Structure 1
Amino acid sequence: MDLPLLLSIDQGTTSSRAALFDAGGRCLHSCTAPLTCHYPADGWVEQQPEAIWQSQLQALAQLEQALSADQRRAVAACGIANQRETTVLWRRGGAEPLGPAIVWQDGRTAAICADWKRAGLESEIRARTGLLADPYFSASKIVWLLQAVPAAAAAAADGSLCFGTVDSWLLQRLTAGARHATEFSNASRTLLMDLERLQWDPELAAALGVPLEALPELLPSRAAFGSIAAGLPFAGVPITAMLGDQQAATLGQGCLLPGEAKCTYGTGAFLVINTGSVIRRSDAGLLSTVGWCDADGRPTYCLEGSLFNAGSVIQWLRDGLGLIERSDQVDGLARSCDDSGGLMLVPAFTGLGTPHWDPGARGLLIGITRDTGPAQIARAALEGIALAVATLVELAEEALGTPLGELAADGGAAAADLLLQAQADASGVTVRRRADLESTSRGVALLAGVQAGVVESLEAWQNDHPSGEPRRFEPSLDPGERQRWRRRWTSAVKRSLHWHGEAT
């Protein structure tokens, strides 16, 4: 064990994790607590802000209890990674949320985004933020809450309203209200930050109807964010880094050079490619975003493709259909048949992101015959995730003008060998999987360690594989067969689009 130690907070869509890393990048302990999503209407996804906090607090408390006294004393710094665009409002100086947390997957704000497009704001949003006028991002969620929650509107009127993505909400609770802040990677997912100037954009905020004074202080990803308050687990530990979960996973996978890419198969699947100091823009629905910033505010940018449902599809097989008892059984069930029998599953449960950006799309299972059984459905589910991500890979290669040499894979669903082999076959790219799938926790621990002076540089852990050497999945389809498979996939996706018609 290399001292001192680093605490990692990884607050995700369906669980909260707390992990402890040593200075050499080895994960010593990890504890997880579940978190529930609520679906009050079609396309709506909510969480309770207090439940988010209690879930993370539970994970932290379990971790602290698992450590020796010497280990607790050796914790030198903490980093926070978080589910990104999820939106929380509260009143300044308090901890009482004003309405539910609207989760990043939520599509209820499609009508607000449609109004922005009709008003001619789409091109300005794209130019200033690198994003699109879509319900995925935080700004429309803020506007919806201001319209639907009278207490939020009242707080905005008297200047006491606070907005935060989940990093800000956790920071507010961890510091007992002492800090209302965020950092550049999370801010770049709100539709409210100028991507080039790395500042909140007052003109854009006014045009979208978001009160500028409600936004958190904007800091680099490495900064002094405060310390964990007395009475909480790990009290007194300084918080030295915050980062959106997909950016943290990119760091954790060691994608430090332009052109290096990873895909995280969590609740959704997110392809992120490092583009260095250059903002790469796409006309094909990819997003330009901040990867991370150093302590002086110098950014590393990324290009991103977003699939809203990946691991959630496996959860549906488990909880919705009862085809498996545990998520880790999906690979064995899918492998129990030779092929999917022509079945295809489009994972558009809460709409489609890149490249369609269609909140009205819905999931589609097509090709069912009398011979279709649970194994074919499981196989089609994994292949559907891989085929959707293959589209993201293709668009990224077109935007960059060069093929991806290798794709790093992480996230819970990446444990399924069949998924990653299908990914290699569908995209024609070698897929690399670390023995440790939790790259998000590792990445933000690394960033916190560099800021605290515990780790020498971001490169220090790049070639370190304390849990074992990575496994590689090589493409096995010939190009003609791959093209035919992809054409059928494109046909299936077209049938899933605009299922609920125009947003109203």
Structure 2
Amino acid sequence: MTDRYILAIDQGTTSSRCIVFDRRATVVALARAEHPQSYPQPGWVEHDAARVWRDVRKLITRALRDAGLTADKIAAIGIANQRETTVVWERATGRPVAPAIVWQDTRTAPLLDGLDPDVLRERTGLPPATYFSATKVRWLLDSIPGLRSKADRGEVLFGTMDSWLIWNLTGGLHVTDVTNASRTQLMNLATLDWDPVLLEMFAIPRAMLPEIRSSAEVYGTADGLGVPIAAAIGDQQAALFGQTCFEPGDAKCTYGTGGFLLLNTGTTPVRSAHGLITTVGYRIGSQPPVFALEGSIAIAGSLVQWMRDGLGLIGTAAEIETLAATVTDNGGCYIVPAFSGLFAPHWRSDTRGVIVGLTSYVTKAHLARAVLEATAWQTRDVVDAMNADSGLALTTLNVDGGMTADNLLMQIVADVLDVPVARPMVAETVSLGAAYAAGLAVGYWSDPRDLRANRHRAGRWLPTMDPAKRATEHATWRRAIAAAVLFSSP
């Protein structure tokens, strides 16, 4: 199999990628396409699922062409995907019944009233939040005339983007993996199956749900390619896997549209008392599942996009580093970017963003610095909660994602956390994790531990901030968070 390769599909929030990897985890070819974001009402975020599928189909062809390969040279396909984003489609036609409701969408907030948070946390490891898929499915069933009766009869199907892509790639296989199922708020962490109590709580028929499988096994064969589809894994769990965080205590943070920090906690789920999510990290074949604690930050890279597109203060996302580097601090200005509420560890869907500490001294350079610091301080909130829940002290933060190209941001994160920050040579760790899982499923790689040999660091940042300054700025950040919550309260 020395002349064969793995194809990874990374279906993300703002774009889809298809990447061909060789045995040494080298990127042989990469094809990428952005897809539109739709905001039909305040708090609503939608995608055209049919457009996403068309894009992925074209990207597979382009990636193979750019790699100079035919399909018979691909040993397996692995899929990583934006996780909670919800698609409902007709079984008979394969047509979506509505636009996909994206994980950032907050329209379902009224449906949270009356949900028992203790039942949800005990069974799913998740708090009541608009973030997860269950309320999105419920909203569609309640809002589209006749949809509920069709769902009861199994005429319409629900899936996250992995299920949607596998359905289309195979011509009708309806499956998902444990990592994506764990983000629906409908799967029981103990049984790794759909929970009848939760299905009744959300009034969702089991007939519309996919079969839950492991993250790495052969699900079926891609029509027209003859290649086994051998992995499906949520994008953030894929990054954990791609960073080879295989031991309890290993942690990674992916900085993209949002920020997602996962800590491997081993084969026993750790229940959070500090606002984190208990989730499935991955499951390889019939092996016991590996669990993780996760802290999700709703707004990270999208705050830079807002500064570019909403305020027009920078021309490109990359310019923020240059602009922020012209000042040595934020000028006393802090930005709490609660555009879609506050995620971990606060879980306040009702909170909206604020800028505090504005004076006439503050320039756009200070605002740029505050944008970067907002990502770092949100990471600090999650790490503090993670250390408290796990009983472990983070020693190194492995990072990946588009924002890690910003060296100043990486230094700020190291300073705020007071731990080293390490960036791998292969930036596409989400895709790499999907490739690793698929390769293990078909024997392309023999053992997860062997994959660590492919890991090479491209950057490492050590903390340099004075401890007293760190403490003072942290206290100010916490006051800014309190101001955002107070401002948003009725």
TM score, norm. by length of structure 2: 0.97
Q: Which amino acid aligns with 1:395?
A: A
Q: How far, CA to CA, are the matches of 1:463 and 1:486 in structure 2?
A: 38
Q: How far, CA to CA, are the matches of 1:152 and 1:18 in structure 2?
A: 33
Q: Which residue of 1 aligns with 2:45?
A: 45
Q: Which amino acid aligns with 2:163?
A: S
Q: Which residue of 1 aligns with 2:27?
A: 27
Q: Of residues 465, 468, 471 in structure 2, which corresponds to 1:480?
A: 468
Q: Which residue of 1 aligns with 2:207?
A: 213
% identical equivalent positions: 41
Kindly indicate whether the alpha-carbon contact (under 8 Å) linking 1:222 and 1:293 is maintained by their aligned counterparts in 2.
Answer: yes
Deviates more, 1:406-415 or 1:60-69: 60-69
Kindly indicate whether the alpha-carbon contact (under 8 Å) linking 1:284 and 1:395 is maintained by their aligned counterparts in 2.
Answer: yes
Q: How far, CA to CA, are the matches of 2:83 and 2:286 in structure 1?
A: 23
Q: How far, CA to CA, are the matches of 2:236 and 2:16 in structure 1?
A: 15
Offset of residue 227 of structure 1: 1.3
Offset of residue 51 of structure 1: 2.0
- Go from structure 1 to structure 2 and tell me whether the alpha carbon gap of 1:456 and 1:297 turns closer, same or farther (over 3 Å shift): closer
Q: Which amino acid aligns with 1:323?
A: L
Matched, 1:490 2:490: no
Query: Tell me, which stretches of 5 or more residues in structure 2 are unaligned?
Result: none
Q: How far, CA to CA, are the matches of 1:76 and 1:306 in structure 2?
A: 33
Q: Which residue of 1 aligns with 2:377?
A: 387
Query: Tell me, which stretches of 5 or more residues in structure 1 are unaligned?
Result: none
Provide, for residues 305-352 of structure 1, a one-character-per-residue CA deviation record: whole Å limited to 9, x for no partner.
010111111111121122222222221111122221111111211111
Please list, as runs of the form range in 1=range in 2, the aligned pairs for 1:111-190 lying within 5 A after superposition.
Answer: 111-116=110-115, 121-177=116-172, 179-190=173-184
Offset of residue 370 of structure 1: 1.9
Offset of residue 499 of structure 1: 4.8
Matched, 1:471 2:459: yes
Kindly indicate whether the alpha-carbon contact (under 8 Å) linking 1:273 and 1:302 is maintained by their aligned counterparts in 2.
Answer: yes
Q: Which residue of 2 aligns with 1:222?
A: 216
Name the SS for the 2:218 alignment partner: coil
Deviates more, 1:257-266 or 1:152-161: 152-161
- Go from structure 1 to structure 2 and tell me whether the alpha carbon gap of 1:204 and 1:493 turns closer, same or farther (over 3 Å shift): same
Please list, as runs of the form range in 1=range in 2, the aligned pairs for 1:280-295 lying within 5 A after superposition.
Answer: 280-295=270-285
Structure 1 residue runs of 4+, over 3 Å off?
Answer: 498-502
Kindly indicate whether the alpha-carbon contact (under 8 Å) linking 2:71 and 2:227 is maintained by their aligned counterparts in 1.
Answer: no
Matched, 1:408 2:407: no
Offset of residue 498 of structure 1: 6.2
Please list, as runs of the form range in 1=range in 2, the aligned pairs for 1:74-89 lying within 5 A after superposition.
Answer: 74-89=73-88
Please list, as runs of the form range in 1=range in 2, the aligned pairs for 1:414-425 lying within 5 A after superposition.
Answer: 414-425=404-415
Q: Which amino acid aligns with 1:7?
A: L
Q: How far, CA to CA, are the matches of 2:486 and 2:97 in structure 1?
A: 32
Matched, 1:101 2:89: no
Matched, 1:452 2:442: yes
Name the SS for the 1:3 alignment partner: coil
Q: Of residues 178, 198, 209 in structure 1, which corresponds to 2:192?
A: 198
Please list, as runs of the form range in 1=range in 2, the aligned pairs for 1:194-273 lying within 5 A after superposition.
Answer: 194-230=188-224, 235-273=225-263
Kindly indicate whether the alpha-carbon contact (under 8 Å) linking 2:29 and 2:64 is maintained by their aligned counterparts in 1.
Answer: no
- Go from structure 1 to structure 2 and tell me whether the alpha carbon gap of 1:114 and 1:498 turns closer, same or farther (over 3 Å shift): farther
Deviates more, 1:144-153 or 1:301-310: 144-153
Provide, for residues 439-461 of structure 1, a one-character-per-residue CA deviation record: whole Å limited to 9, x for no partner.
10011101100101111111222
**Aligned alpha-carbon RMSD (Å):** 1.5
Q: How far, CA to CA, are the matches of 2:198 and 2:212 in structure 1?
A: 16
Offset of residue 57 of structure 1: 2.4
Offset of residue 435 of structure 1: 2.7
Kindly indicate whether the alpha-carbon contact (under 8 Å) linking 1:360 and 1:498 is maintained by their aligned counterparts in 2.
Answer: no
Kindly indicate whether the alpha-carbon contact (under 8 Å) linking 1:99 and 1:152 is maintained by their aligned counterparts in 2.
Answer: no
Q: How far, CA to CA, are the matches of 1:23 and 1:76 in structure 2?
A: 11
Deviates more, 1:342-351 or 1:383-392: 342-351
Q: How far, CA to CA, are the matches of 2:466 and 2:259 in structure 1?
A: 25
Q: Which amino acid aligns with 2:245?
A: C
Provide, for residues 129-162 of structure 1, a one-character-per-residue CA deviation record: whole Å limited to 9, x for no partner.
1111111010000000111112532422433121
Matched, 1:371 2:361: yes
Question: How many aligned positions are there?
Answer: 490
